[in-house]
Each structure stands twice: as C-alpha cells, then as structure tokens.
Amino acid sequence: MERSVDIAVARACASRPPRGGFAAALRFVRALAATPIGAIGLVIVSGLVLMALLAPVLPIKDPLFLYLDHRLEPPGAEFLFGTDQSGRDILSRVVWGARASLAISIFVVAIGLVLGMLIGLVAGYYSRTWIEEVLMKCMEVLASIPLLIWAIAMVGVLGVQPTVLGPFSLSNEVKLTLLIGLLYTPGLARLTHGLVLNEAQAEYVLARHVQGASTWAILVSDILPNVISPVLVQATILMGVAIIVEASLSFIGLGVQPPTPSWGSLLSDARTLIFSGEWWVSVFPGLTVVLAVLGLNLLGDAMRVVLDPRRGAGGPRNEARELV
C-alpha cells in the first residue's frame, strides 16, 4: 500500500509544471510567433493595443473637435480618413475608439474567465453532488436568455445614465461590461467543468489528498494548470466576439454613450450615409472592427496549435502551463 502511494505521489509531483514567470511567457510568445497565423495575429493585436495605449500622445487631431468647414470631407492630406457629418476627424476617432472597444472586450473576458473558471473548477471537483447540480443549473438559466435581451432589460431598468450605488457611480460602459462578462461566464464554466471532471479522477489528485493538501490548493496548484490551456484559447476568441457585441450594442445606442468614441458608435453615426456616397465614414471604422476580430481569431487559432498536447511533453504547452 505504501509503495503504491509513493508511486502516486511521484506521479503527482512529476505532473505539476514548474513555474517559469517572465521567461515562460517569452518562450510562449516566441512559439506563437513561430506559426504564420500566430505571427500575423500578434502583429495585428499588438498594433491595435499600442494604438489604443498611445492615443493621447500620437500626433492626431482632437476626436471631439468640430471642423465645421470640413464636414464630410473625403480622405486627403489634412484628414487621412476624412471627416464625418459633424466635421470630426475619423482617424482620431478610430484611434480613440480603440481605447473603449478594446478595454471593454478585455474586461468582459477577464470577468467571464475568472467567474467561469472558478465555477467550473468547483462544480467539476464536486461532481455528482448538489454543488455541481446547483452551479451548472444556474449557468444553464443564465445562458438561456440572449445577450441583447439582457442589455435591453438592463437599459429599461437602469437607463443609459450613470447609476449611483453608494459611493460608486457606474457608467453605462461599466454596467455593460459587468453584464456581458457575467453572460460570458456560463460558456467558460461549462468548458472548465468538462475538463475538470477528467482531471479530478486522476491519480495525482488522490496523491495530493494523501499528502494532506487542501481542496483549494489542489484546485489552484494542480488541476488548474492542467485544464487552463483550452480555456485560454476560448477566452482569446471570445475577445473578438466581445468587440462585435460592444459594436452591436453601441450601434443601437445601448453601448458606449456620446461623446466618448467607440467603433460601434462610429458605425452608428455612419448608418445614414452608407448609400449616399460618403463611404469613408463607415468603411474605416468597419475595417478596424474586422481587423481586430481577425487578429484575435488568428491568435486564438495559433494558441490552439501551440498548446496542442500532441506537440510533445517538452513543447510550448508546458511553457504556457508554467504561467499559472
């Protein structure tokens, strides 16, 4: 009996990935860049993120200033992307709009990732108990109502104006971020739950129990690193979906509110000009959305390739697991 326990403990120790920190992250990025789709995705996403971060110092015009003498001016030397019906520079509004659109998508996925993984870990670990039943039923109920219905209901109850909760004032952008992040939770929870169901029965988990490890330690230190790869791939792809969701809600007036520019609000402003000849008002914001979604999907596909366990035990998969 003692020998079998010792063997199980040895396997458990061998299955636990070493922690690599920054070096592991750098190796993982290099592995992504080594694939053609990963290199393209990294270039696109990095470029958009840098554009958003550097918007205040870039040599562009004020996105809110009205050049009344240059309304609906086509692209040229002075206005590279042209101007809209109010005389605002479209290039600067696209650049500044990246800050709102990308920030919302990042925080939405972060909220869904944290909540989904936590619920999925707990439900999978306590499989065939009332805990799993309650948690997963709640996820099913939450996922049964479409996102747009939730957004309309929230706006109907709270309005688009800031909502004051004690000392906090929640803007419409914050409310939508929390809502969409909450609605992203069921999908990520179900994915994590399915992966944890297999891992919870592994020998190394039994060995950790024998060692006296707590449930939380087993979930975070042992099971999580072994299931996180597919979840991260899905989260990356969901960021692209979040950009489309934000653009859709802003397009119908439920998202980012004026005067803050976002890619969705830019498309909303241009919807009456699509067939009137002022093509630049809608084309440039639309192309930016397409480019962002394309870059994130390429990055997600590259992560799926790099994290494929069939690449070998010493491959980039282990380097990615070192990050957790």
Residue 310: what pLDDT?
55
**How many residues does the structure list for the chain?**
324
Q: Which residue has the tokens 């990055």?
A: 299
Residue 309: what pLDDT?
59
- How many helices (DSSP H) and strands (DSSP E) are in the chain? 13, 2
Given pLDDT bands bounded at 50, 70 and 90, which one contains residue 21? low
For the chain, the farthest-separated pair of C-alpha atoms sits apart, in whole angstroms, at 87
Contacts 24+ apart (CB under 8 A), 180-183: 180/104, 180/108, 180/112, 180/147, 180/242, 180/245, 180/246, 181/107, 181/108, 181/109, 181/110, 181/111, 181/112, 181/115, 182/111, 182/112, 182/115, 182/142, 183/112, 183/142, 183/143, 183/147, 183/150
What residue type is assigned to position 236 of the chain?
Answer: T
Range among 162-166, 170-174, 186-190, 252-256 rated most confident = 186-190
In tens, the pLDDT along 98-136 reads 999 999 999 999 999 999 999 999 999 898 899 999 999
Q: Which helix (H) or strand (E) holds 168?
A: strand 168-170
pLDDT > 90 fraction of the chain, expressed in percent and rounded: 42
Residue 1: what pLDDT?
42
φ/ψ of 82, rounded to 5, equals: 80, -170
Residue 18: what pLDDT?
43
Between 321 and 244, where is the model more confident? 244
Between 3 and 87, where is the model more confident? 87
Residue 192: what pLDDT?
93
- Torsion region of 146: left, alpha or beta (phi above 0 gives left; psi -120 to 50 gives alpha): beta
Residue 28: what pLDDT?
84
Residue 20: what pLDDT?
52
12: pLDDT strictly greater than 80: no
Q: Which helix (H) or strand (E) holds 163?
A: strand 163-165
In tens, the pLDDT along 251-278 reads 888 888 888 899 988 998 888 888 888 8
In tens, the pLDDT along 32-61 reads 899 999 999 999 999 999 999 999 999 999
Residue 62: what pLDDT?
92
Residue 312: what pLDDT?
47
Q: What angle do CA 304, 305, 310 make, to 5 degrees?
A: 110
Residue 17: what pLDDT?
43
